[in-house]
Amino acid sequence: MSEFRAERLAVLIKEELGKILQRELKDPRIGFASITNVRVSRDISHAKIYVSVFGDKAQQQATMEGLESAKGFIRSELGKRIRLRSVPELHFTADTSLEEGSKVLSLLNQIQKEGRED
C-alpha cells in the first residue's frame, strides 16, 4: 500500500476517533482526552494513536486504561464508519509533547526574567 494512502487513512481515523470519543464512549475513566496524531503502518495492519490527556498523572493513567478497555468497541465503530477490508489494530500511546513544551516555555521565561534582573 502506498504511503499516501496510509496518511489519508490516518487523517480519517483521527477525525472519526475524535467523534467517537466525544459522542459514543461513556466510560467515566476517560477524561478530557484529545487525539494529537495517528500513524498507520504501510500495510494498514496497525495504527498508533497518540492521545493527550488534560490532568494529572492519575487522570492520564485512568484515561489510558479506559481507552485500552474500549479498544474493541472503538475498532468496531471505526469499521462501521470507514470502509476497509480489515480495520487496523489500535495501539494507544500517551502524548506528553504538550507538557514538555509547556516546561520548556516556563524555563525560557525563567531564564529571561533572570537575565533582566542582572
Q: Is the CB of residue 92 less than 8 Å from the CB of residue 63?
A: no
Q: CA–CA distance from 62 to each of 28, 67, 105 (Å)?
A: 9, 9, 27
Question: What distance, in Å, lies between the first and last C-alpha atoms of the chain?
Answer: 59
Q: Which three cell numbers stand for residue 56?
A: 494529572
pLDDT tens for the chain, residues 1 to 118: 567 888 999 999 999 999 999 888 888 888 788 899 999 998 889 999 999 988 888 888 999 999 999 999 999 999 999 988 889 999 999 988 777 777 888 888 888 888 777 6
- In total, how many domains does the chain have? 1
Q: Which domain holds residue 18?
A: 3-117
Q: Domain of 92: which CATH number?
A: 3.30.300.20
pLDDT score for 112: 86
Residue at 72: amino acid letter: G
pTM to 2 decimal places: 0.79
Q: In angstroms, rounded to a whole number, what is the distance separating the alpha carbons of residues 111 and 114?
A: 5
